[in-house]
Amino acid sequence: MALIIPLRGFTPAIGRDCFLAENATIVGDVEIGDECSIWFNTVLRGDVNSIRIGNRVNIQDGSVLHTLYQKSTIEIGDDVSIGHNVTIHGAKIHDFALIGMGAVVMDDAVVGEGALVAAGSVVLSRTQIGPNELWGGAPAKFIKMVEPEKAREMNQKIARNYLMYSKWYDNPQQ
């Protein structure tokens, strides 16, 4: 069972049909929507401010989500994929966005609906990534527009796949 720690009067709220890896850590002011998956060695640390996660979000292995005390929060929309070893610190991620493996998204950054952040990118504080834009690099810069239908289709597929993968853990002997 995941390590779920109430703190400062806040108990993490977990939606229905979620998968929480045994060694995931969820602390304090965290709300997770339905059909989400929080993978191995992931930390959602809502100790100093709130973390709000929509439905069908997958936060993959080794990712860390945190905020600034009394300054920044995390908001993640629906059907969002957060790749392995991502750091999100006080940012807003809209529906159908994809944050690639090893990326960093800093305080008060906004990632628009259907946007993609390439693996290994560093999105600096207060950066505004528009809907359906692909950004990459360190620091991250605009690369090109992505077709909205393709972005939505891809991210819904990834979200469905991660929901399927999480169901394998219901009965790991099969």
- Domain assignment of residue 174, yes or no: no
Domain that holds residue 117: 3-168
Residue 73 belongs to a domain with what CATH number? Answer: 2.160.10.10
Q: What is the pLDDT of residues 121-150, one digit of tens each?
A: 999 999 999 999 999 999 999 999 999 998
Query: Where residue 151 falls among pLDDT bands split at 50, 70, 90?
Result: confident
Q: What is the pLDDT of residues 35-94, one digit of tens each?
A: 999 999 999 999 999 999 999 999 999 999 999 999 999 999 999 999 999 999 999 999
Q: For residues 67 and 86, what is the distance between their CA atoms, to the nearest angstrom? A: 14
Tokens, residue 31 = 């709300």
- Domain assignment of residue 66, yes or no: yes
- Domain assignment of residue 117, yes or no: yes
Q: For residues 115 and 156, what is the distance between their CA atoms, to the nearest angstrom? A: 13
Q: What's the number of domains the chain is made of?
A: 1
Burial 106-125 (b: 16+ CB within 10 A, else e): bbbbbbbbbbbbbbbbbbee
pTM: 0.95
